Amino acid sequence: MISNSPGKLVVISGPSGAGKTTVLREVFQRASAPLVASISATTRQPRPGEQNGLDYHFLAPEEFARRRDSGAFLECCEVYGRGDWYGTLKGEVAPRLAAGKWVVLEIDVHGTLAVLEHYPDAVTIFLRPSSMAELERRLRERGTETEDALRRRLAVAAEELKSIERYRYQVINDDVELAVAELCRILTPDS
Ligand code: 5GP
């Protein structure tokens, strides 16, 4: 679709708790490519400290549905099967690609597959912990979920790991420094 635009689309997935947020924060500081984050829209409630327009566009379910019906999303889906919707707004992506930016989407596996239909040249990266046991340990340490929500996230993670071969790169995030370095290597423009 827009593969001849000057920018690049970068898609990063990985189970929640795999340390994506920490790693990406560093990568945004250090990578040599002109990275810009696409801010997703979601109907889930903000966590303590999260800011509207910065972490997500937090939308009421009716507003999310209205934008979905008007075709505003590049992709969107219900991520955890209990009514929380997430989606990438077209307005976050196309204008920045046209301006030569590398637009980074942090989305789930279903979203990635949908995006690849429109942008087959997207650079897809799966960021994962070395094992499910390590992932569970990290989620418990973070302590932001109820036991029920944590179980659901682990089940989704196990499901997502099955799609890992659909990604161009896999990066193991056991050591933040190593993962950041590897991502920065991947996100280096050809000279
Ligand atoms: P969290 O609720 O922990 O912020 O995010 C939960 C999951 O939603 C993450 O695995 C993330 O990849 C996914 N996600 C966030 N934004 C989007 C989006 O715009 N589209 C899709 N498909 N998934 C998203």
Torsion of CA 66, 70, 75, 80, to 10 degrees: 20
The structure tokens listed for 182 are 């590897």
Q: Which atom of ligand 1 is nearest to the CA of 12?
A: 12
Instruction: Tell me, in angstroms, the distance from the centre of ligand 1 to residue 181's CA.
Output: 23
Nearest CA owner, ligand 1 atom 16: 107
Nearest CA owner, ligand 1 atom 6: 16
Sort residue 17 into left (φ over 0), alpha (ψ -120 to 50) or beta.
left
Nearest CA owner, ligand 1 atom 19: 87
Which pLDDT does position 69 carry in this prediction?
A: 98
Ordered per-residue pLDDT tens for the chain, 191 residues: 444 568 999 999 998 766 788 899 999 999 999 999 999 999 999 999 999 999 999 999 999 999 999 999 999 999 866 689 999 999 999 999 999 999 999 999 999 999 999 999 999 999 988 888 988 988 888 887 789 888 888 888 888 888 899 999 999 988 899 999 999 999 999 86
Q: Which residues contact 36 (CB under 8 A, 6 or more apart)?
A: 96, 101, 102, 103, 104
38 close to ligand 1 (CB < 6 Angstrom): no
17 close to ligand 1 (CB < 6 Angstrom): no
3-class state of residue 147 by DSSP: helix
Which pLDDT does position 18 carry in this prediction?
A: 64
Determine the Cα angle at 143 with ends 138 and 148, to 5°: 95
88 close to ligand 1 (CB < 6 Angstrom): yes
Which pLDDT does position 2 carry in this prediction?
A: 44
3-class state of residue 179 by DSSP: helix
Instruction: Tell me, in angstroms, the distance from the centre of ligand 1 to residue 125's CA.
Output: 14
The span from the CA of 50 to the CA of 4, in Å, is 35
- Give the global pTM: 0.89
Which pLDDT does position 1 carry in this prediction?
A: 47
The structure tokens listed for 146 are 């109820």
